[in-house]
Structure 1
């Protein structure tokens, strides 16, 4: 799995990048066919300090996309990762249903 992290209009700390990488690597247990993962970090409202995380995961034949906005990047990463995990489980269920 290739993970690309992009931060818009700011420089993300290495600790945040390693946290994101570690969190997303655990998704390989659900689906080992994840090809690429693009993570985009941005501020939605600078005054309100709302932080947005978008995750786009490429699997064979599909692009899964999730996003989450909270007041902290780590919370946003956790929320987006959980949404992506649900989508991966759903795809796995569909794939298993087709083979039966």
Structure 2
């Protein structure tokens, strides 16, 4: 899987990049045909500084998207990956029910 991480308005630490790669590699359990993942990290300059993680996951024939906002980048990435897990499991269950 090709993983591209884009940090807008800041430079992401290596620990954050490794965390994102580990989270996205856990999605291979649900679908082996994942082509690429594009992660965009940004934040809003408000008083609470809301961190936003947007993940675009490319599988054959579809592009899945998930966006999550929280007060920490790791929470945002975990929430977005959880949304993608749900989408992948739904696709997998639809595929298996059609073949049977």
User: TM-score w.r.t. structure 1 length?
Assistant: 0.96
Which residue of structure 1 lines up, in the alignment, with residue 11 of structure 2?
11
Q: Cα deviations across residues 66-89 of structure 1 (Å, max 9, x unaligned)? A: 000000000001111100000000
What pairs with 1:1-100 in structure 2 (closer than 5 Å)? 1-43=1-43, 45-47=44-46, 48-100=48-100
**Deviant stretches of 4+, over 6 Å:** none
Task: Note the aligned Cα RMSD (angstroms).
Answer: 0.7
- Runs of 5+ consecutive residues of structure 2 not aligned to the other structure: none
Distance in 2, matches of 1:95 and 1:83, equals 19
Distance in 1, matches of 2:95 and 2:24, equals 22
Distance in 1, matches of 2:81 and 2:59, equals 15
User: TM-score w.r.t. structure 2 length?
Assistant: 0.96
- Runs of 5+ consecutive residues of structure 1 not aligned to the other structure: none
SS of corresponding position for 2:31: coil
